[in-house]
Amino acid sequence: MSPEIKPDFLISPEGLRVDGRRPDEMRPIELKVGVLKQADGSASIRQGKTYIIAGVYGPRELHPRHLTLNDRAYLRVEYRMATFSVPDRKRPAPSRREKEISMVIANALKPALFLEEFPKAVVDVFIQVIQADGGTRCAAINAASLALADAGIPMKSLIPSVAVGKADGQLIVDLGDEEDKYGQGDVPMAIIPNTEELTLLQQDGSFTREELQEAMQMGINACKYLHELQKEALRRAYVKKTPDEEDDEDDEDDDFDDDLETDLGEAELMEDE
C-alpha cells in the first residue's frame, strides 16, 4: 500500500476543500432502507466513500440474562469495522475504539426510543463499516436510526448525525478522512431535529467559544438536511408502489426463480450422468 501523503493544504486559495467541496457542503449521500432480508430492520448509508450497513434484530429475548433491565429493553449496539474497510488491514478483534463508538452510538440513539415498551427484552443493532473514509460514527447513527425505524421500534424521531470541524482555520461540515486526520478539530454531533436536543456531542481539537457556536449551528443545519434524506429513504421503502411497479418486481422475481431452477436441474443432471 502506498503511504498516505499529507496534503499541502486542506482549504485551497479559492476556499475549496481537498475534494472540491465548499466549507458547508456535505459529501454525496445515499440512504437505503430494508437492505437485509433476514433482519427485522436494516439500512445502508454511503456518505462519500464511507459505506456502512446496519441490521436490527428485536425486540427479542435477552442473553445473557444478567444484562436484563426490568423496566425497559436493553439497546445493544455493536459497531465494527471490516478488515478491508481501511487500506491498512483492520485487525479483526474488537478494538477499544470500536467498543467506545458502540457505546457512543447507543447513547445517541436511546433518547429517541420508547424502550420502556419492551421490558426485559433486547434490541440488537449491528453496524458494519464496509469502507471507512471519515465520519463513520455519525454515518453509523444515520443508518442505525433508519434500521430501527424499519424494525418498527417505537421512536419519537429519527436521529441524524454529522461531524463539523476546522481545517486551515476554516469551519467545515462532514469531514472526510484527510480532514479528520490533518485538520485542527472535529466535533461529531447528533440531534433530535424538532427540539434540536443534542444526543451526541464530542470534541477533538480546540475551538474558541464563537467558533464552537458557529460550528454547532452548521452541524444543526446539516442534521436537518440529513433528517429530510432519512425521511425520504423511509418513504421510498414504505409508500405503496403502483400496480405497474409491483408487476415489474414480480417479473424480476420470476426471472430469478427460473434461473435458479434451471441451474439446479443442470447440476443434478450432471451428477446422475
Evaluated on CA atoms 193, 42, 155, 77, the torsion sign reads negative
Of 180, 193, 222, 233, which one interacts with ligand UDP (CB under 6 A)? Answer: 180
E strands present in the chain:
29-33, 41-47, 50-61, 74-81, 121-131, 161-167, 170-173, 185-192, 197-201, 204-205
8-state DSSP, 2 = P
Judged by DSSP in three states, 263 sits in: helix
d(CA 169, CA 50): 25
Longest dimension (CA), the chain: 79
Between 101 and 153, whose beta carbon lies closer to ligand UDP?
101
Binding pattern to ligand UDP, positions 69-108, x when CB under 6 A? -----------------x---x------x-----------
Q: Does 177 bind ligand UDP (CB under 6 A)?
A: yes
Q: Does 135 bind ligand UDP (CB under 6 A)?
A: yes
Q: Does 160 bind ligand UDP (CB under 6 A)?
A: no
Least CB distance to ligand UDP at residue 25 (A): 18
Of 42, 44, 47, 136, which one interacts with ligand UDP (CB under 6 A)? Answer: 136
Give me the residue whose beta carbon is nearest to ligand UDP: 136
Q: How many residues bind ligand UDP (CB under 6 A)?
A: 11
Binding pattern to ligand UDP, positions 235-264, x when CB under 6 A? ------------------------------
Least CB distance to ligand UDP at residue 84 (A): 12
User: Binding to ligand UDP (CB under 6 A): which residues in 103-132?
Assistant: 132
Contact of 66 with 74, CB cutoff 8 Å = no
Between 86 and 198, whose beta carbon lies closer to ligand UDP?
86
Between 45 and 153, whose beta carbon lies closer to ligand UDP?
45
Choices 116-124, 135-143, 243-251, 259-267 (CB under 6 A): range interacting with ligand UDP? 135-143
From residue 243, give the alpha-carbon distance in Å to each of 176, 248, 252. Answer: 42, 9, 14
Report the half-sphere exposure of 233 (CA within 13 A, side-chain side): 28
Of 17, 27, 137, 166, which one interacts with ligand UDP (CB under 6 A)? Answer: 137
Least CB distance to ligand UDP at residue 164 (A): 12
Least CB distance to ligand UDP at residue 177 (A): 4
User: Nine-digit cell at 118?
Assistant: 419492551
Contact of 142 with 33, CB cutoff 8 Å = no
Q: Please give, one letter per residue, the 3-state secondary structure of 86-147.
A: CCCCCCCCCCHHHHHHHHHHHHHHHHHECHHHCCCEEEEEEEEEEECCCCHHHHHHHHHHHH
Nearest partner of 169 among 183, 181, 182, judged by Cα: 183
Interface contacts to ligand UDP, rule CB under 6 A? 86, 90, 97, 132-137, 177, 180
